[in-house]
Structure 1
Amino acid sequence: MKNTGSINTTMLLPLNNHYALLALMLSPALDNITINTLRSAIHNNHIIWVNLLQQAGVQRCTPLLFVRLNQYRLWSELPAPIQQIIQAAYQKNLQRNAVLQTELSALLAAFQHSGIESLLLKGAATFCDNLYGDPGARVMGDLDILVHPNDVEKCKKILTSQGYIVIPDPGMTFDGLATDMRHHQIPAYRHPTTKVIIETTSLLSTQDRLLLNTAHALLPKREFIRGEIALLQLAEFSLLITERSEEISWNGWANVAQLNHLETAFMTYLLMSHELMSIAWPLAWPVPTGRLLPVFLLLS
């Protein structure tokens, strides 16, 4: 094992900010310097794992943490008890995702048999495009399926025929906010044994997928105003930037922000990806600071 004790991890890592430290460890694009700095911090017991794992649990990112620690060959540095906790969370999510994928495949086949066109987005879309490169990496809160509004009643019948039941969810009712109008909802459905959630939502290209990720992370429950940006969403945003950069129009992304008066929120989200996850700055404009942010708002 290399001697990494000479690296001053206190100066280079946000060791006292477990949200920021977890964000860094979830990044899909760390350089060797950062990886070695993390290795030194782990090797020298500078990370308070209880706090970090608590944050990972809150953010629903423990399985992704497992994947990233292995990706960067840091796994062997962890204390055995910490390995057991993280790996157990990953294995449970891997098994759960396998069940979700099986259920999803059956539903899509039933839709197709009935002549219903259906498409996937958000977490469900990763079953098809393998965005994470690991079937257990992403925690799925639900499965999002796009169907035409005219097919909603057919979908209800199919879901019911396959053993799903309606769960009344007052939180899905409209409350007059523009952010709630981004898609039409039907009541949630649950299969009694697998607890799969199904809802209708919007079709996304990679460009629109990035936009929905941004809006979903910032707006539905006023996350931006509350300062409660989910690392599950930020990690996927950063992964899309890293893996699908050639399919993203940042001018288009910025124009949507401007049209909806969300420039500050959108730019803050992109800055978080850049600053917390070390994602290369993708825009032609300089990285904004307090002085440069108004310039971005004008350019957008």
Structure 2
Amino acid sequence: MSSVKNTYKDTLLLIADILSFENPHHDLKQKIVSTQIDWEQFVTVASDHLVLTTSYCRLKSKELLQYLPKDLEVYLKEITLINRNRNLTLIKDIKLIATIFNTHNINHVFLKGSAFLIGNYYKDVGERMIGDIDILIEENKILKAYDLLLNQGYSKLPSGLKSTFFDHKHLDRLTLNEGLCAIELHKYVLNKPFDKLLLSSVILDEKQFIDTIAIPGPNHLYTHNILNFQINDKAHYYSKISMRSVYDTLILLKAFPKLLKTSHHKYLNSYLSLHSIFLKEFNTIKLDLSKIKRFETRLKSSKLNSFHKKKLEIYALLNVIPSRLNLYFTNKNYRSAIHKERGRIFKELKSNFLKN
């Protein structure tokens, strides 16, 4: 592969051009054949953003695979095949779970990547890398749903302090015979105190069915995709971008263009503003230009970006310490759990705050 060094922004722009539905194929071809590209960095960044298989499928769709280095094409083809087979197995798991819940009248809806798969939004089943199978359950049925899966042979994965001592958006994760992925049964879709921004009851009331499998309607799928990243993944706080998340957004906008509109919702506007740096699809609406300028400044300096992130991590830690200390001194079980997991906790803190 090439010994050329591209900037992080250059690599993100290349990935965005590959994923985009508006960037002309000829322009992308010229960039690939005429520009010296650091393909090793491309693999690293695309992997970090979980879009290696997506990039392969989009390049295949645009008939541009032949212009990649041969070893890279072979590598991307192999991992896409593995991911395609994995997703086909996940679809079988989703259908089985849907049958169990439908049989027992459990009001539910599949979320995120599972919903996109079942909704046939992807041209190739292998496009999207999926972590867990996320399912929103009507709250008064969630314990019954959990027991049903346990009775079907699913087993509970070890839980952490957060799910044990704090009100978490989903129950402890489940897996089937050390299966391909975990199952998460959600009471609500956004972390508190933001859960009211997207009500579970409304998502359930307005769900749609693909055959007999329930998924959110397009509007809720779009909004949840963005807010999940902005709030649950703390992207708004840290001013992060995600090529996997934004590709799902592009997929929905391709099918439902009217979903894209100027929003005064700060989380939606922030998401669209930052991703507009890389994708033309969002330039038709009013964006937060000051946020874009600040983000572009940090993109030019890895040291400034690292300092900004570290500062925010420290602020976040300081903000949560008082409530944790109060619980530590008032809850014997929490003290015992902290003592038992002190090694893991200190290792995690060291990893987060003492790394270069």
Aligned pair count reads: 261
**Deviations 1:90-127 (CA, angstroms, capped at 9, x unpaired):** 11110110111111111111111112232222111112
Identify the residue that residue 238 of structure 2 maps to in structure 1. 226
How far apart are 1:63 and its partner, in Å?
0.9
Given the two structures, how large is their TM-score scaled by the length of structure 2?
Answer: 0.66
**Deviations 1:230-281 (CA, angstroms, capped at 9, x unpaired):** 21112112222222123x2736xx25x2xxxxx2x43232123433122153
User: Are the structure 2 counterparts of residues 169 and 145 from structure 1 closer, same or farther at C-alpha, using a change threshold of 3 Å?
Assistant: same
Mapping of 1:207-222 within 5 angstroms? 207-222=219-234
Q: Secondary structure at the match of 2:184?
A: strand
Worse-superposed segment, 54-63 or 154-163: 154-163
Identify the residue that residue 241 of structure 1 maps to in structure 2. 253
From 13, 23, 38, the equivalent of 1:20 is: 13
Identify the residue that residue 38 of structure 1 maps to in structure 2. 28
Identify the residue that residue 146 of structure 2 maps to in structure 1. 156
How far apart are 1:166 and its partner, in Å?
0.7
Identify the residue that residue 250 of structure 1 maps to in structure 2. 261
Identify the residue that residue 275 of structure 1 maps to in structure 2. 277
| Higher-Rg member (1/2) | 2
Q: Which amino acid aligns with 1:225?
A: Y
Worse-superposed segment, 64-73 or 267-276: 267-276
Mapping of 1:167-206 within 5 angstroms? 167-170=157-160, 173=163, 184-201=169-186, 202=200, 203=203, 204-206=216-218
Identify the residue that residue 67 of structure 1 maps to in structure 2. 57
Gaps of 5+ in 1: 1-12, 258-262, 294-300
2-structure distance, mates of 1:186, 1:90: 31
**Deviations 1:170-223 (CA, angstroms, capped at 9, x unpaired):** 2753998xxx87xx4111101124233212234343222222112111222422
1-structure distance, mates of 2:261, 2:161: 32
Q: Secondary structure at the match of 1:18?
A: helix
User: Are the structure 2 counterparts of residues 30 and 14 from structure 1 closer, same or farther at C-alpha, using a change threshold of 3 Å?
Assistant: farther
Identify the residue that residue 72 of structure 2 maps to in structure 1. 82
How far apart are 1:60 and its partner, in Å?
0.9
**Deviations 1:148-167 (CA, angstroms, capped at 9, x unpaired):** 11221221222112221111
User: Are the structure 2 counterparts of residues 266 and 291 from structure 1 closer, same or farther at C-alpha, using a change threshold of 3 Å?
Assistant: closer
Identify the residue that residue 297 of structure 1 maps to in structure 2. none
Q: Secondary structure at the match of 1:131?
A: coil
How far apart are 1:288 and its partner, in Å?
5.0
Structure with the bigger percentage of helix:
2
User: Are the structure 2 counterparts of residues 22 and 189 from structure 1 closer, same or farther at C-alpha, using a change threshold of 3 Å?
Assistant: same
2-structure distance, mates of 1:44, 1:250: 36
How far apart are 1:65 and its partner, in Å?
0.5
Structure with bigger RCO (C-alpha 8 Å, 6+ apart): 1
Worse-superposed segment, 228-237 or 65-74: 228-237
How far apart are 1:59 and its partner, in Å?
1.0
Q: Is the 8 A contact 1:238 1:277 kept in 2?
A: no
Q: Secondary structure at the match of 1:134?
A: coil
Worse-superposed segment, 154-163 or 16-25: 16-25
From 108, 117, 132, the equivalent of 1:142 is: 132
**Deviations 1:65-89 (CA, angstroms, capped at 9, x unpaired):** 0111012111111121010111111
1-structure distance, mates of 2:37, 2:149: 46
Q: Which amino acid aligns with 2:71?
A: P
User: Are the structure 2 counterparts of residues 45 and 267 from structure 1 closer, same or farther at C-alpha, using a change threshold of 3 Å?
Assistant: same
Identify the residue that residue 90 of structure 2 maps to in structure 1. 100
Identity among equivalent pairs (%) = 19
